[in-house]
Structure 1
Amino acid sequence: MSNSTSTAYSATAQLYANTDFSKLTWLEFQWASFYLWIDNPIIATGLMSFLLHEIVYFGRCIPWIIIDAIPYFRKWKLQPGKIPSKQEQWECTKQVLFSHFTIELPAIWLFHPLTELVGLATWQVPLPSWSTVIPQVAFFFVFEDIFHYFAHQALHWGPLYKHIHKIHHKYSAPFGLAAEYAHPAEVFILGTGTLAGPFLYCAFRGDLHIFAMYVWITLRLFQAVDAHSGYDFPWSLQHILPFWSGAEHHDFHHMAFVNNFSTSFRWCDAIFGTDDKYRQYRAKMDAAKKSGMSMQELAKLEQRMTEEAAREGVEAEKVAESYTYGKTKVQ
């Protein structure tokens, strides 16, 4: 072992000089061992963060790819006539990977120095308890949802839509992989909401551990992929938590182009009235179900309403793209 390597290892090991490893849980022991093994906190944090993102994102997408390939699940497909082809999924994957490696990887690599700047713990053990992590993650969800709502609306403004957000709206019937199918600038803009909450929390409280951020990011990725899945199962979370947006809520946004700008919750859209068309759509469907229509008649009605919303969405998108300062008002 060279002197430089020995010195680096000694510096890394010294971080845990006062740690009693016998009192650590299995996870905490693995956590510390990883940092000691990599022997460089900056590289260890960057590597762990990037791998977590890739494994969770694509790992969560795989079940939806399988579901899309099985006709049995079409009964729960929100737009059953639009099943993504293998070519579409591959094109989507390439764009997602491009953003991951050109935008997210460099940002993640600089993540450790930023965490130290705001005082966020990384290599430290023991890890925080769940009673500490859960309220923090709940705050991050609320903060991100509010940030995303206003940022997403801004991205529907003519110039920003035409040059940035239009890429994400390529698929009027989204699928899991399309959750992060976006222009690199959009990845940066909306990703700010994911990271700003934890950084602000840490700046004011000073007691945040990156483990809580990993829990938050894992759940946020699950939410994003599921919201773009295109399926509404009876056991989907929005049927358990009425304020949860879910795929049924977000799918309408992709289909109709307008309404439903938030991510995790329905609160902002309800407060600011940006779910009016969606509510009308749901009210008509609910009334039809109560009228005693047959399943076949309901299916035809839903298809007709879906096609109508999609046509209106195409027109709304044209309005956004043709925006000129002070002349055209975006819906």
Structure 2
Amino acid sequence: MGVSSVYHDYSSFHNGTSFSDAFDNFNKLSDLNVIEKLWGSYYYYMANDLFATGLLFFLTHEIFYFGRSIPWMIIDRLPFFRKWKIQQGKLPSEKEQWECLKSVLTSHFLVEAFPIWFFHPLCQKIGISFHVPFPKIKDMLIQWAVFFVLEDAWHYWLHRGLHYGVFYKYIHKQHHRYAAPFGLTAEYAHPIEVALLGMGTVGIPIVWCLFTRNLHLFTVSVWIVLRLFQAVDAHSGYEFPWSLHHFVPFWAGADHHDEHHHYFIGSYASSFRWWDHVLGTEAGPKGKTEREAAKQSNSEKLQKKLL
């Protein structure tokens, strides 16, 4: 059996073969919190860091993607929530849900699963740590914020580009099969699109680490979960009084992305509204009205200056 390098000193550990035994060992370390102890116990128990990271990332993706999607599937079947449905009356049928599920699972196992198993060697090569203890929460918060901002920029420009000519016809059109999106459709896309947009989610942390040499695998794991939640919620098709953008005005949310699916163009960003607002690409009648109002306001200001 191999030995994980997740921790620097196993001299006080007793022998054991179960995860419980591993946790007992880590639980004696007073300098680690409970999450760090569980993380260390997992890697120690697996005794193969490459396999442990691959399995961890694959299961994290599947559990949190479907764990976030299934509640929306249930909501679609409950009449109580219909009043908050953005595109009224356009509920996905069971057949549509099933067809989407099959396509997403195929993508997960045939497109996304393979490169996951090479992630740990890449981490070792570029300096992404997986050891315990974790970095300070302040450092992780800063990195998550940076990742959200940079991924949003990547998503905006790549997504906008995918709406041109052959890129839309042969790649992005698949994602627009459902004009009224639902949770599962977040990753219903052509394999090329999955890979390109996935580069924003995984590639940005990699580039960050190349420049800073300061990144932990736990930070990347949480970032992926947060990004999954954002993507699934944006495709939910529901606008609630408690939706996040009511409290954080620049957050995109479901109403922003639903407009994109409804009108097939505009509102290209993933997490925030500023790119679409500044560049005048907000979708739908509301976006058109706001652009016309801004144009009129600028015209009036110019006239006042001339007078």
Same-fold status (TM-score > 0.5): yes
Please show how residues 2-151 of structure 1 align to structure 2 within 5 Å.
5=1, 8-9=2-3, 12=4, 16-17=8-9, 21=26, 22-23=29-30, 24-122=32-130, 124-151=131-158
Task: Return the alpha-carbon distance in structure 1 between the equivalents of residues 278 and 240 of structure 2.
Answer: 26
Residue 231 (structure 1) aligned to one of 225, 228, 238: 238
Query: Structure 1, unaligned stretches of length 5 or more?
Result: 284-331
- 1:160-187 deviations in whole A, cap 9, x for unaligned? 1111111100000000000000111110
Pick the aligned partner of 1:272 from 255, 279, 289: 279
Aligned equivalent of 1:249: 256
SS across alignment from 1:203:
helix
| 1:13-40 Cα deviation digits (max 9, x unpaired) | 6953268841222211111111111111
Partner of 1:310: none
Question: 1:128 deviation in Å?
Answer: 1.8
SS in 2 for 1:101: helix
CA contact (8 A) 2:260 2:283 kept: no
* Equivalent of residue 190 in structure 1, options 189, 197, 200: 197
CA contact (8 A) 1:173 1:254 kept: yes
Check if 1:154 corresponds to 2:161: yes
Q: Which amino acid aligns with 2:110?
A: T
Instruction: Name the CA distance, whole Å, in 2 between partners of 1:93 and 1:255.
Output: 21
1:279 CA displacement:
3.2
Structure 1 residues 54 and 232 mapped into 2: Cα distance closer, same or farther (>3 Å)? Answer: same
Alignment of 1:256-295 (within 5 A): 256-275=263-282, 277-280=284-287
The TM-score normalised by the length of structure 2 is: 0.86
* 1:256-303: CA deviation from partner (whole Å, max 9, x where unpaired): 0111000000011112111164534676xxxxxxxxxxxxxxxxxxxx
CA RMSD for the aligned pairs?
1.8
- Label 1:58 to 1:16 Cα distance change in 2 as closer, same or farther (>3 A): same
Q: Distance in 1 between matches of 2:59 and 2:79?
A: 32
Letter matched to residue 164 of structure 1: I
Q: Contact 2:86–2:239 (CA<8 Å) still a contact in 1?
A: yes
Is the contact between residue 228 and residue 247 of structure 1 (CA under 8 Å) also seen in structure 2?
yes
Q: Which amino acid aligns with 1:76?
A: W
The answer to whether the Cα contact below 8 Å between 1:252 and 1:278 also exists between their aligned partners in 2 is: no
1:163 aligns to 2:196 (yes or no): no
Match of 2:236, SS state, is coil
Tell me what 2:294 maps to: none
1:3-61 CA-partner distances (Å, limit 9, x unpaired)? xx3xx24xx36953268841222211111111111111000001001100000000001
CA contact (8 A) 1:28 1:125 kept: yes
Q: Secondary structure at the match of 1:174?
A: coil
Moved >3 Å (runs of 4+): 13-16, 18-21, 276-283
Q: Which amino acid in structure 1 is aligned with residue 70 of structure 2?
A: I
Structure 1 position 222, deviation (Å) = 0.5
- 1:200-233, Cα deviation, whole Å (9 max, x unpaired): 1111111100111111111111100000000000
Q: TM-score, normalised by structure 1?
A: 0.80
Deviations 1:70-114 (A, max 9, x none): 011110000112100111101001111111111111111111111
Amino acid at match of 1:84: P
Deviation at 1:251, TM superposition (A): 0.2
- Give the Cα separation in 2 of the matches to 1:61 and 1:51: 15
